[in-house]
Structure 1
Amino acid sequence: MLIRKPLVVACMALAPMVHAQESGNWKGEAELGVLVTSGNSEETKVNGRLGLIHETGTWRNSGDFSSKYTEAEDETTAEEYKAALEADHKFDDQQYWFVRGSWEDDRFSGYDFESTLTTGYGNRVWQSGDRSFLDLSAGAGYRYNKLEQVDVDTGRDVEEEAIARLAGQFDYGLSETSLFRQKLSTEIGLDDNNTITQSETSLQSTIVNSLSMKVAFRVKHVSDAPEGSDKTDTETSLSLLYGF
Protein backbone atom coordinates (compact mmCIF):
# COMPACT_ATOMS: atom_id res chain seq x y z
CA MET A 1 0.00 0.00 0.00
CA LEU A 2 1.14 3.52 -0.79
CA ILE A 3 0.08 5.30 2.38
CA ARG A 4 2.65 4.77 5.07
CA LYS A 5 2.57 7.85 7.29
CA PRO A 6 -0.26 9.66 9.10
CA LEU A 7 1.23 12.92 7.82
CA VAL A 8 0.33 11.89 4.27
CA VAL A 9 -3.27 11.39 5.32
CA ALA A 10 -3.44 14.82 6.93
CA CYS A 11 -1.84 16.59 3.97
CA MET A 12 -4.19 15.00 1.45
CA ALA A 13 -7.23 16.10 3.43
CA LEU A 14 -5.77 19.54 4.13
CA ALA A 15 -5.14 20.54 0.50
CA PRO A 16 -8.69 21.75 -0.29
CA MET A 17 -8.82 23.60 3.05
CA VAL A 18 -5.65 25.55 2.27
CA HIS A 19 -7.24 26.78 -0.97
CA ALA A 20 -10.42 27.78 0.86
CA GLN A 21 -8.51 29.69 3.53
CA GLU A 22 -7.46 32.29 0.96
CA SER A 23 -10.98 33.71 1.02
CA GLY A 24 -11.02 34.03 4.81
CA ASN A 25 -14.32 33.93 6.73
CA TRP A 26 -13.26 31.10 9.04
CA LYS A 27 -15.37 30.40 12.12
CA GLY A 28 -14.28 28.32 15.05
CA GLU A 29 -14.34 27.47 18.71
CA ALA A 30 -11.67 26.89 21.34
CA GLU A 31 -12.38 24.49 24.20
CA LEU A 32 -10.64 23.95 27.53
CA GLY A 33 -11.81 21.75 30.37
CA VAL A 34 -11.47 18.59 32.42
CA LEU A 35 -12.66 15.06 31.72
CA VAL A 36 -12.95 11.77 33.58
CA THR A 37 -12.07 8.61 31.63
CA SER A 38 -12.50 4.86 31.99
CA GLY A 39 -11.07 1.97 29.98
CA ASN A 40 -7.39 1.96 29.00
CA SER A 41 -6.81 5.06 31.13
CA GLU A 42 -8.75 5.86 34.31
CA GLU A 43 -7.83 9.44 35.08
CA THR A 44 -9.08 12.98 35.46
CA LYS A 45 -7.44 14.83 32.57
CA VAL A 46 -7.04 18.32 31.21
CA ASN A 47 -8.32 18.55 27.64
CA GLY A 48 -8.00 21.19 24.96
CA ARG A 49 -9.61 21.43 21.53
CA LEU A 50 -9.71 23.72 18.51
CA GLY A 51 -12.47 23.43 15.90
CA LEU A 52 -12.49 25.35 12.60
CA ILE A 53 -15.00 25.57 9.76
CA HIS A 54 -15.11 27.45 6.47
CA GLU A 55 -18.13 27.42 4.15
CA THR A 56 -18.68 28.86 0.67
CA GLY A 57 -21.26 28.24 -2.01
CA THR A 58 -19.64 24.97 -3.13
CA TRP A 59 -17.27 23.98 -0.31
CA ARG A 60 -17.55 23.25 3.42
CA ASN A 61 -14.16 22.64 5.06
CA SER A 62 -13.60 21.70 8.69
CA GLY A 63 -10.76 20.82 11.02
CA ASP A 64 -10.81 19.46 14.56
CA PHE A 65 -7.70 19.26 16.75
CA SER A 66 -7.63 18.05 20.35
CA SER A 67 -5.27 16.94 23.09
CA LYS A 68 -5.54 15.39 26.56
CA TYR A 69 -2.85 15.20 29.20
CA THR A 70 -2.38 14.12 32.82
CA GLU A 71 0.74 13.96 34.99
CA ALA A 72 1.02 12.53 38.49
CA GLU A 73 4.16 12.45 40.64
CA ASP A 74 6.33 13.59 37.71
CA GLU A 75 5.03 10.72 35.55
CA THR A 76 2.78 11.06 32.51
CA THR A 77 -0.32 8.94 33.09
CA ALA A 78 -2.38 10.01 30.07
CA GLU A 79 -1.41 11.65 26.79
CA GLU A 80 -3.45 11.83 23.58
CA TYR A 81 -3.46 13.92 20.39
CA LYS A 82 -6.09 13.88 17.63
CA ALA A 83 -6.58 15.63 14.30
CA ALA A 84 -9.40 15.30 11.76
CA LEU A 85 -9.71 17.26 8.53
CA GLU A 86 -12.63 17.12 6.11
CA ALA A 87 -13.46 18.84 2.81
CA ASP A 88 -17.03 18.65 1.50
CA HIS A 89 -17.86 19.59 -2.09
CA LYS A 90 -21.54 20.61 -2.10
CA PHE A 91 -23.65 19.69 -5.12
CA ASP A 92 -26.62 21.61 -3.69
CA ASP A 93 -28.00 22.60 -0.27
CA GLN A 94 -28.27 18.95 0.78
CA GLN A 95 -25.89 16.67 -1.10
CA TYR A 96 -22.10 16.69 -0.90
CA TRP A 97 -19.00 14.60 -1.59
CA PHE A 98 -16.46 14.40 1.23
CA VAL A 99 -12.75 13.63 1.65
CA ARG A 100 -11.69 13.04 5.25
CA GLY A 101 -8.37 12.32 6.95
CA SER A 102 -7.83 11.51 10.63
CA TRP A 103 -4.85 10.83 12.88
CA GLU A 104 -4.74 9.80 16.55
CA ASP A 105 -1.86 9.20 18.95
CA ASP A 106 -2.88 7.81 22.36
CA ARG A 107 0.06 6.53 24.41
CA PHE A 108 -2.16 4.19 26.43
CA SER A 109 -4.31 2.67 23.68
CA GLY A 110 -1.96 -0.08 22.51
CA TYR A 111 -1.36 1.79 19.24
CA ASP A 112 1.64 3.90 18.32
CA PHE A 113 -0.78 5.85 16.11
CA GLU A 114 -4.04 5.36 14.19
CA SER A 115 -4.81 6.98 10.83
CA THR A 116 -7.50 6.81 8.14
CA LEU A 117 -8.31 8.36 4.78
CA THR A 118 -11.89 8.08 3.49
CA THR A 119 -14.09 9.56 0.79
CA GLY A 120 -17.79 9.21 0.00
CA TYR A 121 -21.27 10.73 -0.26
CA GLY A 122 -23.13 12.77 2.33
CA ASN A 123 -26.61 14.23 2.61
CA ARG A 124 -28.11 16.86 4.89
CA VAL A 125 -31.38 14.99 5.15
CA TRP A 126 -33.04 17.52 7.46
CA GLN A 127 -32.49 21.14 8.42
CA SER A 128 -34.46 23.67 10.44
CA GLY A 129 -33.00 27.17 10.67
CA ASP A 130 -29.26 27.70 11.05
CA ARG A 131 -28.61 25.52 14.12
CA SER A 132 -30.67 22.34 13.68
CA PHE A 133 -29.81 19.67 11.09
CA LEU A 134 -29.11 16.00 10.46
CA ASP A 135 -26.16 14.94 8.28
CA LEU A 136 -25.66 11.32 7.17
CA SER A 137 -22.69 10.05 5.15
CA ALA A 138 -21.28 6.80 3.78
CA GLY A 139 -17.96 6.10 2.12
CA ALA A 140 -14.89 3.92 1.85
CA GLY A 141 -11.17 4.33 2.36
CA TYR A 142 -8.03 3.02 3.99
CA ARG A 143 -6.82 2.46 7.55
CA TYR A 144 -3.16 2.38 8.63
CA ASN A 145 -2.52 1.76 12.34
CA LYS A 146 0.87 1.18 13.95
CA LEU A 147 0.85 -1.13 16.99
CA GLU A 148 3.13 -0.55 19.97
CA GLN A 149 3.95 -4.27 20.06
CA VAL A 150 3.97 -7.09 17.51
CA ASP A 151 0.65 -8.97 17.40
CA VAL A 152 1.29 -12.51 18.62
CA ASP A 153 -1.35 -13.99 16.29
CA THR A 154 -0.31 -12.28 13.05
CA GLY A 155 3.36 -11.49 13.74
CA ARG A 156 2.78 -7.93 12.49
CA ASP A 157 3.08 -4.54 14.15
CA VAL A 158 0.90 -2.79 11.54
CA GLU A 159 -2.83 -2.94 10.79
CA GLU A 160 -3.67 -1.84 7.25
CA GLU A 161 -6.89 -2.55 5.41
CA ALA A 162 -9.69 -1.12 3.32
CA ILE A 163 -12.58 0.24 5.38
CA ALA A 164 -16.20 1.32 4.99
CA ARG A 165 -17.25 4.42 6.93
CA LEU A 166 -20.74 5.35 8.12
CA ALA A 167 -21.31 8.57 10.06
CA GLY A 168 -23.97 10.97 11.24
CA GLN A 169 -24.27 14.27 13.08
CA PHE A 170 -27.47 15.61 14.63
CA ASP A 171 -27.59 19.19 15.93
CA TYR A 172 -30.71 20.56 17.59
CA GLY A 173 -31.09 24.08 18.92
CA LEU A 174 -33.04 23.69 22.16
CA SER A 175 -33.22 27.48 22.51
CA GLU A 176 -31.34 30.55 21.34
CA THR A 177 -28.65 29.83 23.94
CA SER A 178 -28.47 26.01 24.14
CA LEU A 179 -27.54 23.29 21.65
CA PHE A 180 -27.77 19.49 21.74
CA ARG A 181 -25.33 17.56 19.50
CA GLN A 182 -24.95 13.86 18.73
CA LYS A 183 -22.07 12.52 16.60
CA LEU A 184 -21.76 8.86 15.65
CA SER A 185 -19.34 7.08 13.31
CA THR A 186 -18.25 3.53 12.58
CA GLU A 187 -15.34 2.38 10.44
CA ILE A 188 -15.61 -1.26 9.41
CA GLY A 189 -12.50 -3.15 8.35
CA LEU A 190 -13.07 -5.07 5.12
CA ASP A 191 -10.02 -7.35 5.50
CA ASP A 192 -9.39 -8.03 9.21
CA ASN A 193 -12.97 -7.07 10.22
CA ASN A 194 -11.78 -4.69 12.94
CA THR A 195 -14.60 -2.20 13.56
CA ILE A 196 -14.01 1.10 15.37
CA THR A 197 -17.13 2.93 16.57
CA GLN A 198 -17.15 6.37 18.19
CA SER A 199 -19.98 8.37 19.74
CA GLU A 200 -20.12 11.84 21.28
CA THR A 201 -23.21 13.25 22.99
CA SER A 202 -22.98 16.86 24.16
CA LEU A 203 -25.02 19.75 25.48
CA GLN A 204 -23.77 23.32 25.46
CA SER A 205 -25.28 26.51 26.81
CA THR A 206 -24.23 30.12 26.38
CA ILE A 207 -22.96 31.84 29.52
CA VAL A 208 -22.31 35.29 28.09
CA ASN A 209 -21.63 36.55 24.56
CA SER A 210 -19.25 34.04 22.88
CA LEU A 211 -18.52 32.01 26.03
CA SER A 212 -20.39 28.73 26.61
CA MET A 213 -20.38 25.78 28.98
CA LYS A 214 -20.29 22.27 27.49
CA VAL A 215 -20.83 18.84 29.00
CA ALA A 216 -20.09 15.78 26.85
CA PHE A 217 -19.98 11.98 27.01
CA ARG A 218 -17.81 10.09 24.52
CA VAL A 219 -17.45 6.36 23.81
CA LYS A 220 -14.90 4.60 21.60
CA HIS A 221 -15.19 0.86 20.95
CA VAL A 222 -12.58 -1.22 19.08
CA SER A 223 -13.90 -4.68 18.22
CA ASP A 224 -10.40 -6.16 17.85
CA ALA A 225 -8.31 -4.12 20.29
CA PRO A 226 -4.55 -4.69 20.68
CA GLU A 227 -3.57 -7.37 23.19
CA GLY A 228 -3.68 -6.04 26.75
CA SER A 229 -5.96 -3.11 25.85
CA ASP A 230 -9.62 -2.62 26.71
CA LYS A 231 -12.07 -2.60 23.82
CA THR A 232 -14.11 0.32 25.17
CA ASP A 233 -13.00 3.75 26.40
CA THR A 234 -15.37 6.36 27.80
CA GLU A 235 -14.95 10.06 28.61
CA THR A 236 -17.13 12.49 30.52
CA SER A 237 -16.06 16.11 30.17
CA LEU A 238 -16.96 19.56 31.40
CA SER A 239 -15.43 22.47 29.55
CA LEU A 240 -15.63 26.10 28.53
CA LEU A 241 -16.10 27.02 24.86
CA TYR A 242 -15.14 30.28 23.21
CA GLY A 243 -16.60 30.91 19.77
CA PHE A 244 -14.97 33.21 17.24
Structure 2
Amino acid sequence: MQYINLFCFCAAAAVSTKASATDPFEDFHSYGDLPDDEIHQQHQGELLYGDVEFGLSLHQGNTKNTSFKLKSNLYQDLTHWRNQFKFDGLYRREKNTDTGDEDVSAARYFTSGQANYKLGDEKASFFVYGDFEKDRFNGKEYTATFALGYGNRVFEGRKNTVDIDIGPGFSVSKIDDEEVLAEGEERTQTGSLVRFAMQWQRIVSKRTRFNQDVSYERSLSGLNSRLFAESSLVTQVIGGVALKFGFTYRYNSKPEADKEKVDTELGATLVYSFN
Protein backbone atom coordinates (compact mmCIF):
# COMPACT_ATOMS: atom_id res chain seq x y z
CA MET A 1 0.00 0.00 0.00
CA GLN A 2 1.26 3.39 -0.88
CA TYR A 3 0.32 6.01 1.64
CA ILE A 4 0.78 9.68 1.03
CA ASN A 5 -0.16 12.09 3.78
CA LEU A 6 0.18 15.76 3.00
CA PHE A 7 -1.62 17.30 5.91
CA CYS A 8 -0.28 20.14 5.47
CA PHE A 9 0.42 23.78 4.96
CA CYS A 10 -1.13 26.30 7.25
CA ALA A 11 -0.33 29.97 6.94
CA ALA A 12 -0.83 31.92 10.14
CA ALA A 13 -0.33 35.44 8.96
CA ALA A 14 -1.11 39.08 9.26
CA VAL A 15 -2.66 40.39 6.04
CA SER A 16 -2.10 44.12 6.04
CA THR A 17 -3.01 46.88 3.63
CA LYS A 18 -0.66 49.42 5.16
CA ALA A 19 2.09 50.55 2.81
CA SER A 20 4.64 50.25 5.66
CA ALA A 21 4.06 46.49 6.09
CA THR A 22 6.92 44.80 4.23
CA ASP A 23 5.84 41.20 4.92
CA PRO A 24 2.22 40.26 5.67
CA PHE A 25 3.33 37.05 7.43
CA GLU A 26 6.15 38.30 9.63
CA ASP A 27 4.01 38.69 12.77
CA PHE A 28 3.67 34.93 13.12
CA HIS A 29 7.05 34.95 14.83
CA SER A 30 5.41 36.80 17.73
CA TYR A 31 2.61 34.26 18.01
CA GLY A 32 3.79 32.71 21.27
CA ASP A 33 5.07 35.98 22.75
CA LEU A 34 2.16 38.41 22.43
CA PRO A 35 -1.39 38.16 23.79
CA ASP A 36 -4.24 38.87 21.39
CA ASP A 37 -4.76 42.39 22.75
CA GLU A 38 -1.24 43.46 21.78
CA ILE A 39 -1.59 41.82 18.37
CA HIS A 40 -4.80 43.79 17.78
CA GLN A 41 -3.06 47.02 18.88
CA GLN A 42 -0.23 46.43 16.41
CA HIS A 43 -2.72 46.12 13.54
CA GLN A 44 -5.23 48.75 14.59
CA GLY A 45 -6.62 50.54 11.58
CA GLU A 46 -5.59 47.86 9.07
CA LEU A 47 -8.15 46.44 6.70
CA LEU A 48 -7.58 42.72 7.42
CA TYR A 49 -5.20 40.58 9.48
CA GLY A 50 -5.36 37.13 11.00
CA ASP A 51 -4.59 33.55 9.98
CA VAL A 52 -5.37 31.22 7.11
CA GLU A 53 -5.07 27.42 7.35
CA PHE A 54 -4.83 24.94 4.48
CA GLY A 55 -4.76 21.16 4.76
CA LEU A 56 -4.48 18.39 2.14
CA SER A 57 -4.49 14.65 2.74
CA LEU A 58 -3.96 12.01 0.00
CA HIS A 59 -4.32 8.27 0.61
CA GLN A 60 -3.70 5.62 -2.06
CA GLY A 61 -4.14 1.87 -1.81
CA ASN A 62 -7.25 -0.30 -1.62
CA THR A 63 -9.14 2.95 -1.16
CA LYS A 64 -8.20 6.30 -2.63
CA ASN A 65 -9.02 9.23 -0.38
CA THR A 66 -8.52 12.94 -0.97
CA SER A 67 -9.33 15.52 1.71
CA PHE A 68 -9.09 19.28 1.44
CA LYS A 69 -9.49 21.71 4.33
CA LEU A 70 -9.45 25.50 4.29
CA LYS A 71 -9.91 27.61 7.39
CA SER A 72 -9.46 31.31 8.09
CA ASN A 73 -9.84 33.71 11.01
CA LEU A 74 -9.55 37.37 9.96
CA TYR A 75 -9.93 40.60 11.93
CA GLN A 76 -10.45 44.32 11.50
CA ASP A 77 -9.56 46.55 14.46
CA LEU A 78 -10.95 50.04 13.96
CA THR A 79 -11.39 52.96 16.34
CA HIS A 80 -14.80 51.91 17.65
CA TRP A 81 -15.32 48.49 16.06
CA ARG A 82 -13.50 45.17 16.10
CA ASN A 83 -14.78 42.81 13.42
CA GLN A 84 -14.07 39.09 13.04
CA PHE A 85 -14.66 36.90 9.98
CA LYS A 86 -14.36 33.12 9.98
CA PHE A 87 -14.50 30.46 7.30
CA ASP A 88 -14.21 26.69 7.74
CA GLY A 89 -14.47 24.33 4.77
CA LEU A 90 -13.95 20.57 4.49
CA TYR A 91 -14.19 18.44 1.35
CA ARG A 92 -13.42 14.71 1.07
CA ARG A 93 -13.73 12.33 -1.90
CA GLU A 94 -13.20 8.56 -1.73
CA LYS A 95 -12.76 5.89 -4.42
CA ASN A 96 -12.82 2.10 -3.99
CA THR A 97 -10.13 0.76 -6.31
CA ASP A 98 -11.75 -2.70 -6.44
CA THR A 99 -15.23 -1.58 -7.49
CA GLY A 100 -14.33 1.76 -9.08
CA ASP A 101 -17.05 3.47 -7.04
CA GLU A 102 -16.24 7.09 -6.24
CA ASP A 103 -18.23 9.40 -4.02
CA VAL A 104 -18.00 12.52 -1.87
CA SER A 105 -17.96 11.57 1.82
CA ALA A 106 -17.73 15.05 3.36
CA ALA A 107 -18.67 18.52 2.15
CA ARG A 108 -19.13 21.15 4.84
CA TYR A 109 -18.82 24.94 4.59
CA PHE A 110 -19.25 27.36 7.48
CA THR A 111 -18.82 31.13 7.50
CA SER A 112 -19.49 33.70 10.20
CA GLY A 113 -19.06 37.38 10.91
CA GLN A 114 -19.15 39.31 14.17
CA ALA A 115 -18.95 43.05 14.74
CA ASN A 116 -18.12 44.26 18.27
CA TYR A 117 -18.71 47.89 19.20
CA LYS A 118 -16.18 48.79 21.89
CA LEU A 119 -17.51 50.11 25.19
CA GLY A 120 -15.54 51.84 27.94
CA ASP A 121 -12.09 50.28 28.32
CA GLU A 122 -12.61 48.16 25.20
CA LYS A 123 -12.87 44.94 27.24
CA ALA A 124 -16.66 45.23 27.03
CA SER A 125 -18.58 45.45 23.79
CA PHE A 126 -21.95 45.24 22.09
CA PHE A 127 -21.89 42.60 19.35
CA VAL A 128 -23.84 41.64 16.26
CA TYR A 129 -23.27 38.09 14.99
CA GLY A 130 -24.33 36.05 11.96
CA ASP A 131 -23.34 32.69 10.48
CA PHE A 132 -24.24 30.38 7.61
CA GLU A 133 -23.57 26.63 7.43
CA LYS A 134 -24.06 24.19 4.57
CA ASP A 135 -23.35 20.53 5.29
CA ARG A 136 -24.20 18.02 2.59
CA PHE A 137 -24.49 15.15 5.07
CA ASN A 138 -26.37 16.56 8.07
CA GLY A 139 -29.85 16.48 6.48
CA LYS A 140 -30.13 20.28 6.22
CA GLU A 141 -29.79 22.27 3.04
CA TYR A 142 -28.54 25.18 5.15
CA THR A 143 -28.64 26.66 8.64
CA ALA A 144 -28.26 30.36 9.41
CA THR A 145 -28.08 32.14 12.76
CA PHE A 146 -28.32 35.78 13.78
CA ALA A 147 -27.69 37.11 17.30
CA LEU A 148 -26.81 40.28 19.17
CA GLY A 149 -25.86 40.96 22.77
CA TYR A 150 -23.11 41.85 25.23
CA GLY A 151 -19.50 40.69 25.42
CA ASN A 152 -16.82 41.17 28.05
CA ARG A 153 -13.54 39.82 29.37
CA VAL A 154 -14.38 37.95 32.58
CA PHE A 155 -10.82 36.96 33.48
CA GLU A 156 -7.36 38.29 32.68
CA GLY A 157 -4.19 36.92 34.24
CA ARG A 158 -0.52 36.69 33.41
CA LYS A 159 -1.06 33.69 31.13
CA ASN A 160 -4.82 33.35 30.75
CA THR A 161 -7.65 35.40 29.29
CA VAL A 162 -11.33 34.44 29.10
CA ASP A 163 -13.86 36.35 26.96
CA ILE A 164 -17.57 35.64 26.72
CA ASP A 165 -20.50 36.76 24.54
CA ILE A 166 -24.16 36.23 25.36
CA GLY A 167 -27.37 37.43 23.76
CA PRO A 168 -30.65 36.51 22.05
CA GLY A 169 -31.12 35.68 18.40
CA PHE A 170 -32.94 33.55 15.88
CA SER A 171 -32.17 30.77 13.43
CA VAL A 172 -33.41 29.78 9.97
CA SER A 173 -32.86 26.32 8.52
CA LYS A 174 -34.16 24.29 5.59
CA ILE A 175 -34.46 20.52 5.62
CA ASP A 176 -32.89 18.85 2.61
CA ASP A 177 -35.30 18.04 -0.22
CA GLU A 178 -34.33 14.37 -0.05
CA GLU A 179 -35.46 14.08 3.59
CA VAL A 180 -38.99 12.81 4.28
CA LEU A 181 -40.98 15.22 6.45
CA ALA A 182 -43.06 14.11 9.42
CA GLU A 183 -46.75 14.92 9.44
CA GLY A 184 -47.21 18.66 9.99
CA GLU A 185 -43.48 19.39 9.71
CA GLU A 186 -42.38 22.30 7.56
CA ARG A 187 -39.28 22.16 5.40
CA THR A 188 -38.17 25.69 6.36
CA GLN A 189 -37.95 26.22 10.13
CA THR A 190 -37.39 29.42 12.09
CA GLY A 191 -37.11 29.95 15.82
CA SER A 192 -35.64 32.07 18.60
CA LEU A 193 -32.54 31.15 20.58
CA VAL A 194 -29.96 32.29 23.13
CA ARG A 195 -26.33 32.27 22.02
CA PHE A 196 -23.36 31.90 24.38
CA ALA A 197 -19.73 31.96 23.25
CA MET A 198 -16.45 31.71 25.15
CA GLN A 199 -12.83 32.16 24.10
CA TRP A 200 -10.13 30.97 26.51
CA GLN A 201 -6.51 31.60 25.64
CA ARG A 202 -3.56 30.32 27.66
CA ILE A 203 0.11 31.01 27.00
CA VAL A 204 1.76 27.68 27.82
CA SER A 205 5.33 28.74 27.09
CA LYS A 206 7.23 31.32 25.10
CA ARG A 207 6.44 29.54 21.83
CA THR A 208 3.28 27.60 22.68
CA ARG A 209 -0.31 28.72 23.05
CA PHE A 210 -3.53 26.85 23.87
CA ASN A 211 -6.89 28.08 22.57
CA GLN A 212 -10.36 26.89 23.52
CA ASP A 213 -13.37 28.21 21.60
CA VAL A 214 -16.92 27.24 22.59
CA SER A 215 -20.26 28.39 21.20
CA TYR A 216 -23.68 27.14 22.26
CA GLU A 217 -27.01 28.06 20.70
CA ARG A 218 -29.98 27.04 22.85
CA SER A 219 -33.27 26.94 20.95
CA LEU A 220 -36.26 28.54 22.66
CA SER A 221 -38.68 27.26 20.02
CA GLY A 222 -38.32 23.51 20.38
CA LEU A 223 -35.88 23.22 17.46
CA ASN A 224 -32.38 21.79 17.55
CA SER A 225 -29.73 23.28 19.82
CA ARG A 226 -26.12 23.37 18.60
CA LEU A 227 -22.79 23.15 20.42
CA PHE A 228 -19.41 23.80 18.82
CA ALA A 229 -16.09 23.42 20.64
CA GLU A 230 -12.57 23.63 19.25
CA SER A 231 -9.39 22.93 21.23
CA SER A 232 -6.03 23.69 19.65
CA LEU A 233 -2.39 23.73 20.70
CA VAL A 234 0.12 25.56 18.52
CA THR A 235 3.84 25.37 19.24
CA GLN A 236 6.59 27.04 17.26
CA VAL A 237 9.27 24.52 16.25
CA ILE A 238 11.94 26.58 14.51
CA GLY A 239 11.87 29.90 12.75
CA GLY A 240 8.52 30.25 11.00
CA VAL A 241 7.59 26.57 11.38
CA ALA A 242 5.08 25.44 14.02
CA LEU A 243 3.05 22.35 14.76
CA LYS A 244 -0.67 22.54 15.49
CA PHE A 245 -2.88 19.90 17.11
CA GLY A 246 -6.62 20.49 16.98
CA PHE A 247 -9.80 18.74 18.14
CA THR A 248 -13.27 19.86 17.06
CA TYR A 249 -16.55 18.73 18.63
CA ARG A 250 -19.98 19.43 17.10
CA TYR A 251 -23.28 18.51 18.75
CA ASN A 252 -26.81 18.72 17.34
CA SER A 253 -29.59 17.95 19.84
CA LYS A 254 -32.15 17.00 17.16
CA PRO A 255 -30.45 15.63 14.05
CA GLU A 256 -32.38 14.50 11.02
CA ALA A 257 -33.34 10.82 10.66
CA ASP A 258 -30.37 8.41 10.53
CA LYS A 259 -27.93 11.23 11.41
CA GLU A 260 -25.60 11.27 14.41
CA LYS A 261 -25.87 13.86 17.17
CA VAL A 262 -22.09 14.18 17.55
CA ASP A 263 -19.48 14.92 14.89
CA THR A 264 -15.79 15.10 15.85
CA GLU A 265 -12.61 15.97 13.99
CA LEU A 266 -9.00 15.42 15.10
CA GLY A 267 -6.01 16.66 13.17
CA ALA A 268 -2.37 17.69 13.25
CA THR A 269 -1.11 20.34 10.85
CA LEU A 270 2.16 21.96 10.02
CA VAL A 271 2.09 25.72 10.38
CA TYR A 272 4.51 27.69 8.27
CA SER A 273 5.27 31.40 8.18
CA PHE A 274 6.05 32.56 4.64
CA ASN A 275 8.92 35.07 4.74
TM-score normalised per structure 2: 0.72
Flag structure 1 segments of 5+ consecutive residues without an equivalent. 1-20, 36-42
Distance 2:205 2:269 in 1: 20
1:56 counterpart = 2:78? yes
Partner of 1:228: 258
Distance 1:88 1:109 in 2: 31
1:210 to partner: Cα distance? 4.2
1:87 to partner: Cα distance? 0.6
Distance 1:243 1:104, change over 3 A: farther
Distance 2:239 2:197 in 1: 32
1:90 to partner: Cα distance? 1.0
Partner of 1:112: 141
Partner of 1:160: 190
The equivalences for 1:150-229 within 5 A come to 150-229=180-259
Question: What code does the residue aligned with 2:125 have?
Answer: Y
1:125 to partner: Cα distance? 1.5
Partner of 1:69: 91
Distance 1:120 1:242 in 2: 36
Distance 2:55 2:233 in 1: 14
Distance 1:137 1:204 in 2: 24
1:239 to partner: Cα distance? 1.8
Answer yes or no: is the 8 Å Cα contact 1:102–1:116 preserved in 2.
yes
Partner of 2:156: 127
2:115 to 87, 108, 123: 87
Distance 1:234 1:153, change over 3 A: farther
1:34 to partner: Cα distance? 5.9
1:127 to partner: Cα distance? 2.5
Range with greater deviation from structure 2 (131-140 or 26-35): 26-35
Partner of 1:99: 128
Larger Rg: 2
Deviations 1:153-197 (Å, cap 9, x if unpaired)?
442112210110111110011112111011111101111142111
Answer yes or no: is the 8 Å Cα contact 1:32–1:241 preserved in 2.
no
Question: What code does the residue aligned with 2:267 have?
Answer: S
Over the aligned positions, Cα root-mean-square deviation in angstroms equals 2.4
Distance 1:154 1:173, change over 3 A: farther
Distance 1:242 1:59, change over 3 A: farther
Distance 2:272 2:131 in 1: 24
Higher relative contact order (CA 8 A, sep 6+): 1
1:212 to partner: Cα distance? 2.6
Distance 1:81 1:94, change over 3 A: same
Partner of 1:4: none
1:218 to partner: Cα distance? 1.0
Question: What code does the residue aligned with 2:255 have?
Answer: A
Flag structure 2 segments of 5+ consecutive residues without an equivalent. 1-42, 58-64, 96-101
Q: Sequence identity, in percent?
A: 27
